[in-house]
Amino acid sequence: TQLLEQSPQFLSIQEGENLTVYCNSSSVFSSLQWYRQEPGEGPVLLVTVVTGGEVKKLKRLTFQFGDARKDSSLHITAAQPGDTGLYLCAGESNSGYALNFGKGTSLLVTP
Amino acid sequence: GAGVSQTPSNKVTEKGKYVELRCDPISGHTALYWYRQSLGQGPEFLIYFQGTGAADDSGLPNDRFFAVRPEGSVSTLKIQRTERGDSAVYLCASSLSATVTEAFFGQGTRLTVV
């Protein structure tokens, strides 16, 4: 199994602060995905990064894929309460049919 | 419907009982996946269907778990002789093709075994 380690596990910040969460593995992935999951809901795809070194921006969220395609980061600028949720990274398994998920980073943004 | 629909949203059952969890995928999606998410964990793969057949069931934890998709649309996850350790959120996802990175997830069924 290709393990994905996410850090930090929990993060509590105030509105307006910046933050970065990390997703690391010893395995190479063809792509990595980031999801956000809110309580009582399923994960919702935010972005897929494919190319080593790739940077993608989604409004205040910036995603980066490591050059070696083993790690990724998510940076949020000027966090808002609506950003609260569980952020999960995932990569395709060797079979290609399944996603291996990290345990997630639980983010709480308070007003 | 517009998205993946799972029923029931919540299920409480007694240890040893049999349960069925239903997933209605997005119309036209041929690929369907079941995942299990325990408290404080990310989702873990259980089984993948392409059409009516289970193409990969390597994630099913033991023979108490079984899933079917008889007509290539709705799928049912069946758990026999439930145990307290089966308590989790069971997530279903579907995709248009066998491209797991383009799958959409349902809201999940929270199963509690007491």
Q: What is the DSSP string of A15-67?
A: TT--EEEEEE-SS--S-EEEEEE-TTS--EEEEEE-STT-EEEETTEEEEE-T
The CA distances from residue A67 to A53, B20, B50, in Å, are: 4, 44, 33
C-alpha separations of B20 from A85, A87, B64, B67, B107 in Å: 29, 29, 12, 9, 16
Answer whether A99 sits within 8 Å of B43, measured CB to CB: yes
Query: Would you state the pLDDT for residue A1?
Result: 63
Which regions of chain B are under pLDDT 50?
A: none
What is the rounded CA–CA span in Å between residue A38 and residue A100? 19
Give the one of B56, B59, B100 whose C-beta lies nearest to A92's C-beta: B100
Which residues 6+ apart lie within 8 Å of A59 measured at CB? none
B98 touches chain A (CB under 8 A): yes
For residue B56 the two structure tokens come to 């990969």
Which of A45, A88, A95 minimises the CB distance to B42?
Answer: A88
Mind listing the pLDDT tens digit for each residue in B68-91? Answer: 999 999 999 999 999 999 999 999
Confidence of residue A93 (pLDDT cuts 50, 70, 90): confident
**DSSP 3-state of A96:** coil
| Integer Cα distance of A83 and A108 in angstroms | 8
How much is the CA Rg of chain B, to the nearest whole Å?
A: 13
